[in-house]
Structure 1
Amino acid sequence: MASASFRALRAATVPAKAIAGAALLVLAGCAPGQEVAGAAPHGNSALQEKLFAKGVKRFIFSDWAGPALPVWTYRAAGTPADAPVLFIFHGALRDADNYVDQWLDLARRYKIVLIVPEFSKASFPGARSYSHGWFTEKDGMPRPPEKWSFAVVEPIFAEVRAREALNAQRYSLYGHSGGAQFVHRFILAGGGPHMARAVSANAGSYAMTDPAVKWPFGLAGLPEGLWHPKSVFALPVTVLLGTEDIDPHHHSLPRQPEAMAQGPYRLARGQTFYARARAVAKSEGVPFAWTCGLVRGVGHDNGGMAPVAVRVLFGKTALAPGADCAPVEEAR
Structure 2
Amino acid sequence: MAGISDWSARLTRYDRTMEEMTNPKQGDAECAPGRLTVGSGPQAVRVPIKYEGAAPHEARRAMIIVHGRRRDAVTYARLAMDAFGRLMPDLLIAAPQFLAVQDLIGGGGEQLAYWGERDWMEGGLAAGPLPIAAFAVLDALCAHLADRTRFPLIDDIVLAGHSAGGQLVHRYAILSPVADDVRFIVANPSSYVWFGPGPGPGPGSGPEPGPGPFRWKYALAGRPAYGAMLDDAAIEARYVGRDMLYLLGARDCDPAHPMLDRSAAAMAQGPHRLARGRAYQAHLAERHGAALRHRWVEVPDVGHDPAGILSATVAQEAIWPAYLNLADHARP
- The TM-score, its normalising length taken from structure 2, stands at 0.69
The match for 1:118 among 77, 91, 97 is: 97
| Further displaced range: 163-172 or 299-308 | 163-172
Distance 2:88 2:309 in 1: 16
| Further displaced range: 305-314 or 156-165 | 156-165
The 5-angstrom pairing of residues 259-278 of structure 1 reads 259-278=266-285
Q: Does 1:315 align with 2:301?
A: no
Contact 1:171-1:194 at 8 Å conserved across structures: no
Partner of 1:219: 220
* Structure 2 spans left out of the alignment, 5+ residues: 1-26, 102-113, 199-213, 324-332
Shift in Å at residue 192 of structure 1?
A: 1.6
**C-alpha root-mean-square deviation of aligned residues, in Å?**
2.9
Partner of 2:58: 81
Partner of 1:68: 46
Distance 2:135 2:59 in 1: 25
Contact 1:43-1:97 at 8 Å conserved across structures: no
Shift in Å at residue 200 of structure 1?
A: 0.4
Q: Does 1:167 align with 2:168?
A: no
Shift in Å at residue 164 of structure 1?
A: 5.2
Contact 1:172-1:195 at 8 Å conserved across structures: no
The match for 2:307 among 275, 299, 303 is: 303
Contact 2:47-2:98 at 8 Å conserved across structures: yes
Contact 2:157-2:182 at 8 Å conserved across structures: yes
Closer, same or farther: CA 297–316 of 1 in aligned 2, 3 Å:
farther
Closer, same or farther: CA 276–136 of 1 in aligned 2, 3 Å:
farther
Distance 2:92 2:79 in 1: 14
The 5-angstrom pairing of residues 17-166 of structure 1 reads 43-44=29-30, 58-64=33-39, 65=43, 67-76=45-54, 81-105=58-82, 106-111=84-89, 112-122=91-101, 123-128=114-119, 130-134=120-124, 147-160=132-145, 161=147, 165-166=151-152
The 5-angstrom pairing of residues 240-279 of structure 1 reads 240-279=247-286
Task: Look up the SS of the partner of 1:109 in the other structure.
Answer: coil
Closer, same or farther: CA 271–304 of 1 in aligned 2, 3 Å:
same
Distance 1:191 1:42 in 2: 34
Distance 1:275 1:80 in 2: 42
- The TM-score, its normalising length taken from structure 1, stands at 0.69
| Further displaced range: 89-98 or 308-317 | 308-317
Shift in Å at residue 74 of structure 1?
A: 1.3
Distance 2:222 2:257 in 1: 29
Shift in Å at residue 86 of structure 1?
A: 0.7
Partner of 2:288: 281
Shift in Å at residue 294 of structure 1?
A: 0.5
1:69-125 deviation per Cα after TM superposition (whole angstroms, max 9, x unaligned): 101111247x97351111001111111111112112222312311010000112011
Shift in Å at residue 207 of structure 1?
A: 1.4
Contact 1:176-1:203 at 8 Å conserved across structures: yes
Closer, same or farther: CA 239–231 of 1 in aligned 2, 3 Å:
same
Contact 1:71-1:115 at 8 Å conserved across structures: yes
Shift in Å at residue 300 of structure 1?
A: 0.3
Shift in Å at residue 242 of structure 1?
A: 0.6
1:141-188 deviation per Cα after TM superposition (whole angstroms, max 9, x unaligned): xx99xx321122232234355685342245111110001001111111
Contact 1:239-1:274 at 8 Å conserved across structures: no
Partner of 1:23: none
Shift in Å at residue 289 of structure 1?
A: 0.2
Shift in Å at residue 67 of structure 1?
A: 4.4
Which amino acid is the alignment partner of residue 168 of structure 1?
Answer: I
Distance 1:243 1:163 in 2: 42
Distance 2:49 2:158 in 1: 16
Distance 2:252 2:118 in 1: 21
Distance 2:305 2:258 in 1: 14
The match for 1:190 among 166, 176, 183 is: 176
Task: Look up the SS of the partner of 1:305 in the other structure.
Answer: helix
Which amino acid is the alignment partner of residue 200 of structure 1?
Answer: V
Partner of 1:177: 163
Distance 1:117 1:211 in 2: 34
Contact 1:85-1:115 at 8 Å conserved across structures: yes
Distance 1:158 1:214 in 2: 30
Contact 1:181-1:206 at 8 Å conserved across structures: yes
Contact 2:115-2:125 at 8 Å conserved across structures: no
Shift in Å at residue 264 of structure 1?
A: 0.8
Contact 2:180-2:242 at 8 Å conserved across structures: no
Q: Give percent identity, aligned residues only.
A: 27
Closer, same or farther: CA 136–99 of 1 in aligned 2, 3 Å:
closer
Partner of 1:235: 242
Structure scoring higher RCO (CA < 8 A, sep ≥ 6) equals 2
Shift in Å at residue 44 of structure 1?
A: 4.8
